[in-house]
């Protein structure tokens, strides 16, 4: 359970607005462990794979345009129930429905500029981590705070 992983990404607007550190900080503060992190400029083809489930949606072209408009920061985070907690920490898809205290609820307004991505299930997290990272880019290590975060 403590080895569960999720894919978290700071979108181009989050990078441009200088919110990368804030997002990383919240996951670190919570006690989650960073196991992969890179900045990259994803191609449209790559993003179409990442968002394949949404390809029929009317907002899909705009979503791909926005997501490919600049560099993103892709990350994998590890820890107990990190998929579900990651979603809770991000807030609702539409920032106007996100509670203050969540990342989206604290930093954005429009659904098409919601600054961050998080996997919605353990299975999709596995798929997304596999899509964004090679095996060599994923680190296995024991955090020195492990015994103080988990009982």
Instruction: Kindly report the backbone phi and psi dihedral angles of residue 109, in degrees, each rounded to the nearest multiple of 5, phi listed first.
Output: -130, -50
Whichever of 100 and 147 has its CB closer to ligand DAT, that residue is 100
The mark string for 74-93 relative to ligand DAT (x by CB under 6 A, - otherwise) is -------------------x
Q: Helix, strand, or coil here: 31?
A: coil
Which residue's entry shows tokens 């550190």? 21
Partner whose binding site includes residue 21, from ligand DAT, Mg ion, none (CB under 5 to 8 Å by kind): none
* CA atoms 68, 90, 6, 60: torsion sign: negative
C-beta of 22 vs 120, nearer to Mg ion? 120
Instruction: Confirm whether 50 is a catalytic residue.
Output: no
**Which one of residues 24, 63, 73, 76 is an interface residue with ligand DAT (CB under 6 A)?**
63
Instruction: Considering the complex, state which of residue 31 and residue 126 has its C-beta at the smaller distance from Mg ion.
Output: 126
Instruction: Give the chain's count of helices (H) and strands (E).
Output: 8, 4
């Amino acid at each position: 359970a403590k080895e569960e992983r999720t894919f978290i990404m700071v979108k181009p607007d989050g990078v441009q607005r200088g919110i990368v550190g804030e997002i990383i900080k919240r996951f670190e503060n919570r006690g989650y462990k960073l196991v992969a992190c890179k900045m990259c400029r994803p191609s449209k083809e790559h993003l179409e794979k990442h968002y394949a489930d949404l390809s029929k949606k009317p907002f899909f072209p705009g979503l791909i345009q926005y997501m490919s408009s600049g560099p993103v920061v892709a990350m994998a985070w590890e820890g107990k129930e990190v998929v579900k907690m990651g979603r809770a920490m991000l807030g609702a898809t539409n920032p106007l429905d996100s509670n203050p205290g969540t990342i989206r609820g604290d930093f954005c307004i429009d659904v098409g500029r919601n600054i961050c991505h998080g996997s919605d299930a353990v299975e999709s997290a596995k798929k997304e981590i596999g899509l964004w990272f090679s095996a060599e880019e994923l680190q296995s290590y024991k955090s020195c705070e492990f015994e103080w975060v988990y009982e």
